Structure 1
Amino acid sequence: MSFASLGLIDPLVRTLAELQYTEPTPIQAQAIPLVLAGRDVMAAAQTGTGKTAGFALPLLQLLTMAGSTAPNSTRVLVLVPTRELAEQVHQSVCSYGASLPLRTMVAYGGVSINPQMMKLRKGVDILVATPGRLLDLYRQNAVKFDLLQTLVLDEADRMLDLGFARELDAVFAALPTQRQTLLFSATFSDPIRALAAKLLRDPASLEVSPRNTTVKAIRQWIVPVDKKRKPELFLYLLKKHRWTQVLAFVKTRKGVDALVELLQAAQIPSDAIHGDKPQPARQRALDRFKAGEVRILVATDVAARGLDIDALPVVVNFDLPIVAEDYVHRTGRTGRAGASGEAVSLVCADEVTQLAALELLTGQTLERIEEPGFAPEHRVPVTNTAGEVVKKPKKPKKPKGDVAVVSEDVRFRR
């Protein structure tokens, strides 16, 4: 199957060829004809499978074929949860539409609003925005929605997780009711499905991969360890596996800074991304990581969506996520576009509830591998894919020398 066979116009097909897009992914093959036909769409697909092109390509074509924008207006609105994802989506839209006479822009908080207001004066065809900054622009009459044709909600579940429910309601109230609405995400929680029922009209439902699954090309395992020894274990694993590039997720901003400080003290090039850092600093850290200037990028879950890094080999969950769905998005940063990857989680005993929740969500029990010298004093209870703690293992005898003690309850080994 070719992109031309999906009904895309020649300028888009030529651009895709220049970008070395040889054939559509499953989500693109299904979504593009539906969006071109004006259907509302609710689509679920794993990260790295081409969701952005699935909605951006047909929308670019529809905008090119008919109509024009007006001052302080937009014809397509793409809502995303984070600044990083906003930048990523906007860059993709610009790449796909490089040969088309369309105006696009991105808007998010953490930077001055004035340049964004100035750019909106001439109007834009596609506006990619986070909910908070979009409302700021709307309330200052910098953007109007009279000409809006399509609303895209990208990673809407994450927007609700981050507490954007009120902002989203305010945005929806300002939009025209007669429009095309598209929901694209790697996972769909029950609240999102309820939201879709209210927003979408007779939607086509696409589910390219099983609900809430991780990428099959990723090798996933956990290393049981006491909480206080996680930093030591992380340094040990870096040296043992000789990982060249690692994206590490830590639960709190304070924890991110502490780990970066430890890594830098060990003369390991590292940087951080979290909500307390201004957007220019976050973008600079990401750019340095992509360029190979930084070996370890440490982030909170604010970065789980929107980080598109070619051939990222390893994701380390220094802490397990509070929200189980975030595990899918974290691990989805590696193994993209069919590549292989590894996802390693450092798990302590008081994270067993999170472990059980993510195993229930993904329908798999993660392999446990204990590292010599790091067998925890507080054992991590055995879990199963039903989200249950099977039983708490007995505290093992103290190991002699470097011999690791592995509980007989552990059923998955290397």
Structure 2
Amino acid sequence: MSFINFNFEPSLQEGLDAMGFDRPTPIQEMAIPVIMQGKDLIACAQTGTGKTAAFVLPILNKISKSGSNKLNTLILAPTRELAIQIDQQIQGFSYFLGVSSVPIYGGGDGIVWEQQKKALETGAEIVVATPGRLIALLAGGKMDLSTLEHLVLDEADRMMDMGFSDDILKIVNYLPQKRQTVLFSATMPPKIRQFSMKFLHNPEEISLSIGKTAEGVTQSMYSVYDGQKEELVRHILSQKAYESVIIFASTKDKVKALYKVLRKEFDIEAFHSDLEQLEREKIMSNFKNKAVKILIGTDIISRGIDVVGIELIINYDTPSDPEDYVHRVGRTARADKEGEAITFVNPKDQHKFVRIESLIGMEITRNPMPEGFERGPEYLGEKAKSSGFSSGGDGKSKNKKKKKPGNKPAGEKRNSESGFKPRADFKNAPPAHKQEAPKQEAKKTEPSDTPKSETPSKYGQRKNVIDS
């Protein structure tokens, strides 16, 4: 099937042709006709399958056909990063349409707050918002939703996990009862289905590979003690000059600590909630442009990061929720590409890994520890559910590597004799300001919002209201 079969408006089809969009993905092929018919929809598909285009394209087509310049669509997303990504995709698809969109999300100062309110007053056909900031704008009477025709909830399961259920219901109460509502989710637990019935009307349902990982991902695991993880991640990163890697850790404190260690040897940046919004956007832009090779963060980057060409995902910590594993691994092997995912599993997390394999319906390859490393803990599989692991769970008593005769002192152990020296072209010393400047106390304010643009919009006829 080709996108031409959808009979989109010529200006929208021209944009797709310019972007190289030829054939729709399965979720697009199934969802676009339902949305074009005006029906409510619950759609479930694994991450990286093109869900955003599945709801954006038919909505843009309808706006283009009507010629209306009033607020037409509200898209709710769980995070700032996903809201920005959706808005950017709308910009690309609507290049020849002149349709405007505006991202609305929290974390900014008073100036950004005023920018967002002004953008809404100026007018935009599509608003992409996080629930918290939208609630604040609605409470202040800054939005007129009477002309709204479409409500889209993207990553609905994530919004539920983040506690946005009540906010979503409050927002729905502001909307016209006669509208089309579309809900997209990567997983479909019973709570999502029950929740959706509160505001969807006789929805069509589409489910594709719920809880499955992409076919192009090579998945494996190491059974390790915590004390072995740091050296093991160094070893993995040293085996190849990777162009794009994401490392997931369980907490932002662990992200910061691991970043301080790895930045001495590798081209790496840390991504966490303590960063200002401008810093987060700069890091993400550099990562997408391959100016930064390795990104380390928490599950804040497991959703809404659409970067094609990520070669390797390392789960430094086993995800607590099996569905989070699916989202993390979904960052690679996107758009029919191939990728690799490696998970470190310590004794106390083995039961979590059993649940992950159960969800994805496959056994993940067990890797032996590399030569020179001490043997890791025995992986018990199903037996781990009933095992107490009363000792050895943190692995603090275990050495990172076996000592060999003739090894250098501890401070020099990663030399040519060890066999684990990173490639020279993959090193990146920390910038001078990070070496010399005293670290300032973290601000207590939320990360800042969208920066003020100093150049005209590059999107031709598109009325990029934020740029003004």
Q: Output the CA distance in 1 between the equivalents of 2:99 and 2:244.
A: 37
Q: Output the CA distance in 2 between the equivalents of 1:115 and 1:241.
A: 45
Which residue of structure 2 aligns with residue 174 of structure 1? 174
Q: Output the CA distance in 2 between the equivalents of 1:366 and 1:251.
A: 21
Which residue of structure 2 aligns with residue 157 of structure 1? 157
Which residue of structure 1 aligns with residue 78 of structure 2? 81
Gaps of 5+ in 1: 403-414
Which residue of structure 2 aligns with residue 197 of structure 1? 197
Note if contact 2:369-2:375 (Cα within 8 Å) is conserved in structure 1: no
**TM-score, with structure 2 as normaliser:** 0.80
**TM-score, with structure 1 as normaliser:** 0.90
SS at match of 2:176: coil
Q: Output the CA distance in 2 between the equivalents of 1:285 and 1:383.
A: 40
SS at match of 1:308: coil
Seen in structure 2, the aligned counterparts of structure 1 residues 375 and 143 have a Cα distance that, compared at 3 Å, is farther
The partner residue of 1:329 within 317, 327, 330 is: 327
RMSD in angstroms over aligned alpha carbons? 2.4
What amino acid is the match of 2:304? G
Paired residue total: 394
Q: Which has the higher Rg, Structure 1 or Structure 2? A: 2
Q: Deviations over 1:52-87 (max 9, x none)?
A: 1111011011112226344xxx31000001111111
Which residue of structure 2 aligns with residue 245 of structure 1? 244
Which residue of structure 2 aligns with residue 41 of structure 1? 41
Shift of 1:350: 1.1
Which residue of structure 2 aligns with residue 254 of structure 1? 253
Which residue of structure 1 aligns with residue 184 of structure 2? 184
Gaps of 5+ in 2: 393-398, 405-468
Seen in structure 2, the aligned counterparts of structure 1 residues 44 and 377 have a Cα distance that, compared at 3 Å, is closer
Which residue of structure 1 aligns with residue 299 of structure 2? 301
What amino acid is the match of 1:294? V
Q: Output the CA distance in 2 between the equivalents of 1:374 and 1:215.
A: 31
Q: Output the CA distance in 1 between the equivalents of 2:82 and 2:220.
A: 27
Q: Deviations over 1:5-44 (max 9, x none)?
A: 1121111111101100111111111111111110111111
Seen in structure 2, the aligned counterparts of structure 1 residues 304 and 259 have a Cα distance that, compared at 3 Å, is same
Which residue of structure 1 aligns with residue 223 of structure 2? 224
Note if contact 2:157-2:186 (Cα within 8 Å) is conserved in structure 1: no
SS at match of 1:105: strand
Which residue of structure 1 aligns with residue 462 of structure 2? none
Which residue of structure 1 aligns with residue 139 of structure 2? 139
Is 1:4 paired with 2:4?
Answer: yes
Seen in structure 2, the aligned counterparts of structure 1 residues 85 and 158 have a Cα distance that, compared at 3 Å, is same
Which residue of structure 1 aligns with residue 446 of structure 2? none
Is 1:96 paired with 2:126?
Answer: no
The partner residue of 2:342 within 341, 344, 361 is: 344
Which residue of structure 2 aligns with residue 405 of structure 1? none
Q: Deviations over 1:175-232 (max 9, x none)?
A: 222210101122222211111222221111112x321111111000101110122111
Note if contact 1:78-1:153 (Cα within 8 Å) is conserved in structure 2: yes
Q: Deviations over 1:333-371 (max 9, x none)?
A: 000011100000011111123212212211122111121
Note if contact 1:226-1:376 (Cα within 8 Å) is conserved in structure 2: no
Q: Output the CA distance in 2 between the equivalents of 1:241 and 1:375.
A: 22
Shift of 1:328: 0.6
SS at match of 1:182: strand
Q: State percent identity of aligned pairs.
A: 36
Which residue of structure 2 aligns with residue 409 of structure 1? none
Q: Output the CA distance in 1 between the equivalents of 2:275 and 2:217.
A: 30
Q: Output the CA distance in 1 between the equivalents of 2:174 and 2:348.
A: 44
Of structures 1 and 2, the one scoring higher in RCO (CA 8 A, sep 6+) is 2
